[in-house]
A and B are shown apart, each in its own frame.
Chain A
Amino acid sequence: DADVTQTPRNRITKTGKRIMLECSQTKGHDRMYWYRQDPGLGLRLIYYSFDVKDINKGEISDGYSVSRQAQAKFSLSLESAIPNQTALYFCATSLSSGNTIYFGEGSWLTVV
């Protein structure tokens, strides 16, 4: 089983709908991240959380929100999805005492 699990792995949704991507981890890491991957743009940070009570905006947080329900769970929400949010989304984790980041397998989101 993957240490960082994302659900759903694939989702097609309509413009204006609310969608939530969930992430859970069994690595025991305190830090969690959401990234977005677009062709030619690499990875862009949406939000990150250094612990349950510490949530921070990344470089492209507009149109997104997050919730850190527990140390092991970090969800990403699109309140009103739009087509340019069509992308591959990655959850990731790291240790505050470490310097390596670990990724989930990704969630493909298509907004039509």
Chain B
Amino acid sequence: GDSVTQMEGPVTLSEEACLTINCTYTATGYPSLFWYVQYPGEGLQLLLKATKADDKGSNKGFEATYRKETTSFHLEKGSVQVSDSAVYFCASFTGNQFYFGTGTSLTVIP
């Protein structure tokens, strides 16, 4: 069945370091792909999305490219800030269903 697998955490980075959180998907069709972010004490917020192959989603300095050939949607940011500390969820939507990864906790230290 359809599923999303993302990198295990937790991840700890120093401020201004580069971030990559890996995400791969399995799908019977052509899913839309998402990254959601959950800040401490809050609900999940949509960070970015891509709806077809080779699309790049971007927001707040984060970006991810929909790679059909590798079934991946890795989240990247060139220079993280303390305020980026949160849990990040990769997700897909296909066949009227949403599928979520288990989340990756990111802590950025000054």
Residue pair A106, B43 in contact (C-beta under 8 Å): yes
Residue pair B102, A41 in contact (C-beta under 8 Å): yes
Expressed in whole angstroms, the Cα–Cα distance for A106 and B36 within the complex equals: 15
Of residues 1 through 46 on chain B, the ones whose CB sits less than 8 Å from some CB of chain A are 32, 34, 36, 42-46
Proximity string of chain B (77-110) to chain A, C-beta cutoff 8 Å, 1 when within and 0 when not:
0000000000001010100101011110000000
A11-19, A65-73, A75-83, A96-104 - interface stretch = A96-104
Residue pair B89, A43 in contact (C-beta under 8 Å): yes
Residue pair A99, B32 in contact (C-beta under 8 Å): yes
Interface size range on A against B: 10 to 19
On whether A105 and B42 interact (CB within 8 A), knowing A42-B100, A42-B102, A100-B49, the answer reads yes
CB of B4 to closest CB in A, whole Å: 9
Expressed in whole angstroms, the Cα–Cα distance for A94 and B93 within the complex equals: 11
Closest chain B residue, CB of each to CB of A6: B43
Expressed in whole angstroms, the Cα–Cα distance for A90 and B44 within the complex equals: 9
Given A101-B98, A102-B46, A106-B42, 15 further pairs, Cβ under 8 A: A4-B43, A33-B98, A42-B100, A42-B102, A42-B103, A43-B100, A90-B43, A99-B49, A100-B46, A100-B93, A101-B93, A103-B43, A103-B44, A105-B42, A106-B43
Q: B-contacting residues of A (Cβ < 8 Å)?
A: 4, 33, 40-43, 50, 90, 94, 99-106
Would you list 18 pairs from A and B whose C-beta atoms are within 8 A, ordered by A residue?
A: A41-B102, A42-B89, A42-B103, A43-B89, A43-B100, A99-B32, A99-B51, A99-B93, A100-B34, A100-B49, A101-B91, A101-B93, A103-B43, A103-B45, A104-B43, A105-B42, A105-B43, A106-B43
